Structure 1
Amino acid sequence: MILIDPPRWPAHGTVFGHLVSDESLEELHAFARSNAVPERAFDRDHYDVPIVRYDDLVAAGAQPVGEKELVRRLIASGLRVRRRIPPPQQSP
């Protein structure tokens, strides 16, 4: 299922939400392609989508959920990708 959370993350003069799949990345990419979500909006396990796209994506079938529910279902699906924390730099 495709999920979308409320746009609350400020950037570039607007706010963004997240578009994910709780089934597969293939499902997520297919939904994004069919709804003209640019590939550059993909970030490891989700698409960042601006508020102006929220209603259109919900109308196209994305299920609105809260932020915590979105993350919970993404983790449960096994698709969650955590950011790697770089190792501390060594002193010369």
Structure 2
Amino acid sequence: MILVDECRWWWRERWWCHMVSDDSLDELHVFAASIGVPERGFQGDHYDIPAHVREIAVESGAVVVTSRELVVRLRSAGLRLSPDQRRTTAAAGQIADLTSASAISIPTTGAVQPIQLDPRLHLGSSIA
């Protein structure tokens, strides 16, 4: 089951919360991808998501729980990382980001393909 807690963290001009699975990381990644959450939001055992994406998650079936309940369920599932594991995972993610950024190649020929954006994920949107 996908769980989200209350938005309690203010960062980059918006409120953020956590999204986890109490079943598996595979379930979490599939759900996150289905609502358009970028992989860079994954923090080793949870995704950090802004309030407007939390609404989309809840509309898509995520269950709202307290932060305490979220951690209890994550631990019970054996998916909670220790602080040391989270630091190691975060450092590895930063290295992977740098590696992939340096490997980006931009084609200079060929047709430009349009992309489709989900307007619900617009970074400037806010909750009324």
- TM-score norm. by structure 2 comes to 0.64
Match of 1:78?
Answer: 78
Deviation sequence 1:4-42 (CA, Å, 0-9, x none): 001111111111100000000000000001110010000
Give structure 1 regions of 4+ aligned residues with deviation exceeding 6 angstroms: none
Q: Secondary structure of 1:43's partner?
A: coil
Structure 2, unpaired ranges of 5+:
88-128
Match of 1:63?
Answer: 63
Deviation sequence 1:30-87 (CA, Å, 0-9, x none): 000111001000001000000111211100010000110000000110000122188x
Q: CA RMSD in A?
A: 1.4
Greater RCO, CA 8 A, separation 6+: 1
Report the residue type matching 2:8 in the other structure: R
Rounded to whole Å, the distance in 2 between the matches of 1:81 and 1:2 is: 17
Aligned residues: 86
Match of 2:47?
Answer: 47
Report the residue type matching 1:20 in the other structure: V
Return the structure number with greater helix share. 2
Return the structure number with greater strand share. 1
